[in-house]
Amino acid sequence: MINQEDGGVKMDESDLKLIRLTQDGIELVPNPFKEIADELGISEAEVIDRIDSLIERGIIRRFGASIGHRTLGIVANAMCAWNVPDERTEEVGAVMAGFDEVSHCYERVRYPEWDYNLYTMIHARTREECEHVAREISRATVISDYTILFSEREFKKTGVRI
Amino acid sequence: MIDKLDEVDRRLINTIQLDFPLNSRPFLALGDQIGISETDVIDHLKRLTDVGIIRKIGPIINTAMIGGSSTLIAMRVSDDVIDEVAARINEFDEVSHNYLRPGSYNMWFTVSARSEERLREMVREIDALGCPFLELPVERMFKIGVRFEV
């Protein structure tokens, strides 16, 4: 069991092992869950049931492929930080989330020296396209105080691991 | 690279990000969906993995649900030590993404710790590096990236 005292949901030792055995990717073989089942000493069907249950309980957001955007030519990624009045955050966040080019949209803590509270990740093939999307978002939301932070170097990119 | 994808590649990529079949023969099921053999599916996926288009097929974990604690950190690092600091930050298994971006805060990385306690411990270690930084935890989520259409 991990961190239930911190409000985590119930997960037993097999769930945790199952996540650890699959988080770096399953094998590309006809029965990818068989080996995991053997490792855990449970049946293949139980492995699959457990994954379904982890998804149902929200511990796994989804089970599927993670894509290397850069390899796909989606090389420009811009983090756009927006200064949105608190009373408009809900409405503006929903509009931003509606853009296909926006993969993530979060409200984050703001600071006096960094007065932005909404963040969108914009993905496109070029920087110009990212800038264009940001202008579209600005026009749609009537929020003009924003900054585009392109990634200049990728120091690290992995999935979240436990 | 994207131009080199054939129709099977595209269909596989578009399908398996969200709807990877959870059964004992997932690649057979995928093949049935698009009318090719299990072996062909596996061959295509191996090639897509080799070239880096598919990073992995596995669970995307919701750390908040297991009592974990996440944040985004924006750090001000001077150019002469940027590689050194990036290397130190990347040593943390809990750091999943780390990018150089322009502006007053130039190193941006995400931290997903197994507990709030561990996150605080990491923040203390990060603080010891001596670079000014802001902690930017999420207050509300409007969208979480799930799928890219190719």
Confidence bin at A5 (pLDDT 50/70/90): very low
Query: Do A46 and A87 reside in the same domain of the chain?
Result: no
The total of structural domains in chain B comes to 2
Under 8 Å between Cβ of A66 and B145: no
Confidence bin at A130 (pLDDT 50/70/90): very high
Confidence bin at A94 (pLDDT 50/70/90): very high
The total of structural domains in chain A comes to 2
Give the residue with greater pLDDT, B55 vs A70: B55
In which domain, by residue range, is B131 found? Answer: 63-135
The label of the residue with tokens 């002469």 reads: B80
The complex's ipTM works out to: 0.72
pLDDT in tens, A69-87: 777 777 788 999 999 999 9
Query: Do B40 and B78 reside in the same domain of the chain?
Result: no
A155 CA: distance to closest CA in chain B (Å) = 5
Label residues B50-83 b or e (16+ Cβ within 10 Å = b).
eeebbbbbbbbbbbbbbbbbbbbbbbebeeeebe
For the domain that residue B127 is a member of, what is the CATH number?
3.30.70.3460
What is the Cα–Cα distance from B30 to A63, expressed in whole angstroms? 15
Residue B148 lies in a domain: no
- Mean pLDDT, chain A, whole residue set: 89
User: What value does the mean pLDDT take over residues A31-54?
Assistant: 96
Under 8 Å between Cβ of B133 and B105: yes
Amino acid at A112: P
**Cβ neighbours around A10 below 10 Å, total:** 10
What is the Cα–Cα distance from A10 to A15, expressed in whole angstroms? 10
Q: Note which residues in 57-86 of chain A have CB less than 8 A from chain B.
A: 57-74, 79
Residue B73 lies in a domain: yes
Residue to test with chain B: of A9, A88, A156, most B Cβ within 10 A: A156
pLDDT at B98: 95
Confidence bin at B66 (pLDDT 50/70/90): confident
Residue A97 lies in a domain: yes
Query: Do B70 and B127 reside in the same domain of the chain?
Result: yes
Amino acid at A10: K
> Does residue A47 surpass a pLDDT of 90?
yes
Query: Do A32 and A98 reside in the same domain of the chain?
Result: no
Residue B149 lies in a domain: no
Residue B129 lies in a domain: yes
Query: Do B43 and B69 reside in the same domain of the chain?
Result: no
For the domain that residue A93 is a member of, what is the CATH number?
3.30.70.3460
Tell me chain A's radius of gyration from C-alpha atoms: 20
Closest CB from A19, A57, A73 relative to B1: A73
CB contact under 8 A, A109 and B20: no
Query: Do A142 and A83 reside in the same domain of the chain?
Result: yes
A53 φ, ψ to 5°? Answer: -65, -40
Give the residue with greater pLDDT, A1 vs A42: A42
In which domain, by residue range, is A50 found? Answer: 4-56
Q: Is A21 exposed, middle or buried (0-12, 13-18, 19+ CB in 10 A)?
A: middle
Beta bridge pairs of residue B72: B110
Residue to test with chain A: of B93, B143, B146, B150, most A Cβ within 10 A: B143
User: What value does the mean pLDDT take over residues A29-51?
Assistant: 96
pLDDT at A1: 38
Nearest to A130 by CA among A121, A120, A122: A122
Residue B32 lies in a domain: yes
For the domain that residue A40 is a member of, what is the CATH number?
1.10.10
